[in-house]
Amino acid sequence: MELTVTHWLYAIITLLIIVTMVFRKGVVLPTLLGTFIIAWVYKGDLVGGFTAVFNANLVAAKELFNIFLIITFMVALLQALKDLGADRRMIQPIQPVMKNGHIAYFVLVGVTYVISLFFWPTPAVPLICALLVPAAVRAGLPAMMAAIAVALAGQGMALSSDYIMQVAPGLSATAGGIDKEMIVDKALVLSLVTGFVAIGLAYLMNKKTIRKKGDPRIEPELQSLQGLGNEETTREPQNNGIGFWSKLFAVLVPLSMLSVMVFMISTKLGTGRMGGFEGGDGAAFIGGVAVILLLLATVAFGRHNALDYISEHITDGFVFAFKAMGPVIPIAGFFFLGSSDFAGSILSLGDETAPAFLFDLVQASQEILPQSTVLAAFSVLIIGIITGLDGSGFSGLPLTGALSGALASGGMDPATLAAIGQMGSIWTGGGTIIAWSSMIAIAGFCGVPVMDLVRKNFIPVMLGLLAATLFAVLIW
C-alpha cells in the first residue's frame, strides 16, 4: 500500500519516543504532542487535533481501567490486612523457603511461570504479588527484582509460548496457513531459550542489589509495596479480639486465593484448553474475591466504623493506582492511535474505515524484506517487536503469521518463522518492555516506577530474543 504523510509522521514520532526512552527521559510530552500532530494532519482540521488528544486518553483509560481497578482492590485489601496485623502472619510460613533474596528470585520465577501457563499472567499477577512478593522482599530481594522476576517469567516466558491455551499459536497458524501443532512446540522451545537468557541476565545484572535479612531498607520497601508509604494510620481497632482476627485472616486470605486457583484449574480441566477464567475473566474473579475479603477484614477490625474505614481503603487504593500508573495513559493513547481497533474512536471517524498507521508501516516493509534465511528470521522478529508497541502482544500475530507463510524458504519452514514472530510480539507487547501494557499491574503491585522496570528489562529481553532467533536459525 502507499504510505501517506501521516504514516511517516507516525513512524518518526514513534522513533523519537523510543530514543527518548533509551535516554531515560519521560515520554508523556512527545506522545501527547504526537497524538495532536498526527490527528491534525490526518483530518486536516485543527479542532480535530484537539479532540483527538482528549479521545486518545479517554480510550486508553477505558482499556486500562480494569488493571487500575484490580490494583485498587488488592492495595485496599492489603491495607485492611495491615490494620489487623495479618499481613505479617500471612507470609511467615513462606519465609523459611525463601532463605535469602537469591533463592526468592528463582522461587518467584518458578511459581509465576507455572501459574501463568494455566491462566495467562493477568489473573496470576495479583495472586503472586499479594502472597509471595512480600515474603521475597522480606528475604532481601528488592521490589524491583521481584517485579523483574514476575514480568519475565509470566508476561514473557509463559505467555509467549501460550502452551496450555494455545491462543497465540492459533492466531499465527490461521493467518499463515500453518499447522498449529508445529508452531506450539517450537514456540515453547524458543520461549524457554528467551526466558532462560533474559531471567539469567537480569539476575546477574541486578544481584548486587540483593540485601541481607534485617536490612533497614526492607521495611520501608514493604510499606511502599503495599501502597502505604510512611503514612501513619489514624484507624483504631474496635474489636478486643484483634489477635484472633489477625490469625484468622492470615489463614483465610491465602486459602481463598488458593481456592480460586483450584477452581480455575478445575474449570479448565472440565471445559478444555479455553475455560471460563482466562485473562480478564480470571482477573475479575480474583478482584471480586478481594473485594469480599476487604469487606470482611474491615468489619472485623472496625465493626461499625468499617463504614468509614472501607472508603478510606478504596480511596487510598485509587490514589496509589493513579499516582503510580497515571502517566501510562497518554503513552497508550498514542500507540492505540496506530491501531485500527482504536483509531476510529480517537479520530471520531464514525462509520469511516479507521487507519492502521502502525500495521500499514509494517506491511509496507514486506517489499524490502530480504530473502536470506537468517535475515528473514530477524526481519520477522523485528516486525513482531514493532507490532508489540501497541501494548497488545497478540494483535500483531496475524501479521507475523502471514509474513511467515510468505517468507518461508527452503532453509527455514514457516512454523519456525511464525514462532520467532510470536516471540517478538508477545515478549514486547505482552508486558516485559512496554510500559503501556499489562506490565503496569506488576509495577503497581510491586510499588516500583513502571518506566524503571522497562529499562531494567530491556537489555535482558532483547538479548534473549536475539539468542532465541539464533538458536532457531542454527537448529531448525
pLDDT grade for 391, boundaries at 50, 70 and 90: confident
How much is the pLDDT for 388? 81
Q: At what angle do helices 5-22 and 450-475 cross, to 10 degrees?
A: 110
Question: pTM higher than 0.85 for the full model?
Answer: no
pLDDT tens for residues 98-153? 889 999 999 999 888 987 876 567 667 777 887 788 889 988 999 999 999 999 99
Residue 59 has pLDDT above 70, yes or no: yes
Please give the residue that has the higher pLDDT: either 240 or 448.
Answer: 448
Residue 66 has pLDDT above 90, yes or no: no
Does residue 365 contact residue 398 with C-beta atoms inside 8 Å?
Answer: no
pLDDT grade for 32, boundaries at 50, 70 and 90: very high
How much is the pLDDT for 3? 85
Q: What is the mean pLDDT of the chain?
A: 82
pLDDT grade for 424, boundaries at 50, 70 and 90: very high
**Burial state string for 160-173 with b = 16 or more CB within 10 A and e = fewer than 16:** bbbbbbbbbbbbbb
- Side-chain-side CA neighbours of 17 within 13 Å: the count stands at 27
What are the residues facing 409 on neighbouring strands?
412
Q: How large is the average pLDDT for residues 413-423?
A: 90
* Nearest of 336, 324, 320 to residue 429 by alpha carbon: 336
pLDDT grade for 181, boundaries at 50, 70 and 90: confident
pLDDT tens for residues 327-375? 778 877 887 888 788 889 999 988 888 888 877 876 777 666 656 778 8
Dist CA 143 CA 226 (whole Å)? 11
Dist CA 203 CA 225 (whole Å)? 20
Does residue 290 contact residue 77 with C-beta atoms inside 8 Å?
Answer: yes
pLDDT tens for residues 219-257? 888 877 755 444 555 666 666 678 888 889 888 988 887
Residue 75 has pLDDT above 60, yes or no: yes
Torsional sign, CA 326, 327, 330, 334: negative
**Burial state string for 382-421 with b = 16 or more CB within 10 A and e = fewer than 16:** bbbbbbbbbbbbbbbbbbbbbbbbebbeeebbbbbbbbbb
Percent of the chain with pLDDT over 90: 26
Dist CA 184 CA 177 (whole Å)? 14
- Side-chain-side CA neighbours of 100 within 13 Å: the count stands at 6
How much is the pLDDT for 229? 47
How much is the pLDDT for 146? 94
For the chain, the three-class secondary structure string (H helix, E strand, C coil) is CCCCHHHHHHHHHHHHHHHHHHCCCCCHHHHHHHHHHHHHHHHCCHHHHHHHHHHHHHHHHHHHHHHHHHHHHHHHHHHHHHHHCHHHHHHCCCCCCCCCHHHHHHHHHHHHHHHHHHHCHHHHHHHHHHHCHHHHHHCCCCHHHHHHHHHHHHHHHHHHHCCCCCHHHHHHHHHHCCCHHHHHHHHHHHHHHHHHHHHHHHHHHHHHHCCCCCCCCHHHHHHHHCCCCCCCCCCCCCCCCHHHHHHHHHHHHHHHHHHHHHHHHHHHHHHCCCCCCCHHHHHHHHHHHHHHHHHHHHHHHHHHHHHHHHHHHHHHHHHHHHHHHCCHHHHHHHHHHCCHHHHHHHCCCCCCCCCCHHHHHHHHHHHHCCCCHHHHHHHHHHHHHHHHHHCCCCCCHHHHHHHHHHHCECCECHHHHHHHHHHHHHHHHHHHCCCCCCHHHHHHHHCCCHHHHHHHHHHHHHHHHHHHHHHHHHHC
pLDDT grade for 276, boundaries at 50, 70 and 90: low
Does residue 447 contact residue 224 with C-beta atoms inside 8 Å?
Answer: yes
pLDDT grade for 169, boundaries at 50, 70 and 90: confident
**Burial state string for 1-25 with b = 16 or more CB within 10 A and e = fewer than 16:** eeeeebbebbbebbeebeebbeeee
pLDDT grade for 445, boundaries at 50, 70 and 90: confident
**Burial state string for 103-117 with b = 16 or more CB within 10 A and e = fewer than 16:** ebbebbbebbbebbb
Dist CA 325 CA 451 (whole Å)? 10
Residue 26 phi, psi dihedral angles, 5° rounding: -70, 145
How much is the pLDDT for 6? 92
Go through the chain and tell me how many residues it has.
476
pLDDT tens for residues 286-313? 788 889 999 999 998 888 888 888 998 8
